[in-house]
């Protein structure tokens, strides 16, 4: 009599080959590495809490020390914006009204700690995006 063990669904779930590999974002990796850097914190505790192999966490720490750990992507952080109405200038009676400029009028003011940027007139979106990305890296 030939007896063969049938693979049951429960046994298939225990097989590690059937499971997909977990992936961690650069933000998650950096958060775990920084958590390990705190004084009195065990790497094994952090690994256990985050369900990560301890050796993998040590590898990420070494990569971080060598600046090889992929950096998190900068988020498009929003900055507070205040819209201020421009005060109307009173014309003197002796002056003639001037012709309006052909470019659209407008002004953007960006205020940062230690810096204030004024953009007058038409501003291209591409140039503004470049300036804001540069300021976000500061």
Average pLDDT, the chain: 75
d(CA 4, CA 31): 49
What's the Rg (C-alpha) of the chain? 30
Torsional class of 42: left (φ above 0), alpha (ψ -120 to 50), beta (otherwise): beta
The lowest-confidence range among 15-19, 33-37, 84-88, 119-123 is 84-88
Residue 10's DSSP bridge partners are none
The model's pLDDT over 11-60, given as tens digits with 9 standing for 90+, comes to 556 666 777 788 888 889 999 999 998 889 999 999 999 999 999 999 99
d(CA 26, CA 30): 6
């Amino acid at each position: 009599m030939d007896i063969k063990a049938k693979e049951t669904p429960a046994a298939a779930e225990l097989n590690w080959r059937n499971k997909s590999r977990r992936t961690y974002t650069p933000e998650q990796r950096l958060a775990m590495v920084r958590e390990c850097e705190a004084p009195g914190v065990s790497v094994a505790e952090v690994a256990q809490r985050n369900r990560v192999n301890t050796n993998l966490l040590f590898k990420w720490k070494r990569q971080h020390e060598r600046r090889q750990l992929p950096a998190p992507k900068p988020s498009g952080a929003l900055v507070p914006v205040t819209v201020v109405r421009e005060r109307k200038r009173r014309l003197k009676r002796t002056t003639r009204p001037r012709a309006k400029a052909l470019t659209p009028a407008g002004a953007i003011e960006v205020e940062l700690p230690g810096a204030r940027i004024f953009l007058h007139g038409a501003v291209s979106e591409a140039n503004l995006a470049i300036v804001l990305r540069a300021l976000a890296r500061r």
